[in-house]
Amino acid sequence: MDKSKVVMTGALLFASLMVLSCVSMRTTDEWRDKSFQGPAYKKIMVVALTKRADLRQPVEDEFRRQLQARGLDAAACYECIPDVDKISREELAKVGAGMGIEAFLIVRVLRTDTRIESYGSSGAPASSSVGRDSMMDMRWGTPDPPLTKRSETATLESRLFDAKTAALVWRGTAESVNPAGDGSGIGKFVRAVLAALDNEKLIAPPKK
């Protein structure tokens, strides 16, 4: 994997996960290999593509914690491959085979966006206008400056690969809007990903 790409991915992943502590989060796209008939995976390694150890470890640990809470076996990539520059398909296959890993769940960021909308003092978009002869034109001689609304959006992608065939089995993207900025949404993101995998019957259901 190209080092510059890992650095950029790491920076974006950090920014995106800060956005994930947000008011709303929704799934924007999802794909599943319909030819995959199972069985559901019970032992998964989680890979967060970032060079930031202070972010990579919490993300992988949270996935592992929630997977283990479901009664599954889970491994964090940073414990097996500490140097993110050494993460490659070949290295993952070698490490995974020795641990009996059935699938790899790889998380990366696709993009981050900032949206700014302007509104008039009445709450209507600033671009809207009212005719001078209209009773609705109740403005004073000098109109108030427009209000602005700023929202940040992060889109993250999760991909599930079969460990034996290296084939992509599932891919999903999640978009979060209106951040709180403290990064506490990592758990929310993980729950959303695992719920999608559970719905597709790609991971074993929680043990009763």
Question: Could you tell me which of 78, 40, 46, 48 has the C-alpha nearest to residue 64?
Answer: 46
The CA distance from 185 to 154, in Å, is: 12
Q: Domain locations in the chain?
A: 3-123+147-199
Question: pLDDT tens-digit profile of 3-47?
Answer: 444 444 444 444 445 444 444 556 678 999 999 988 999 999 999
pLDDT digits (tens, 9 = 90+) for 110-122: 776 776 766 655 5
Distance of CA 113 to the CA centre of its chain: 14
Given the candidates 3.90.70, 1.10.10, 3.40.1800, 3.40.50, the CATH classification of the domain at 3-123+147-199 is 3.40.50
pLDDT tens column, 137-187? 555 555 566 677 666 666 788 999 999 999 999 999 887 665 444 455 688
Give the phi and the psi of residue 200 in degrees, each rounded to 5.
Answer: -85, 0
- pLDDT surpasses 60 at 131: no
Which structure tokens are listed for 119?
A: 């509104």
Residue type, 154: A
pTM summary value: 0.70
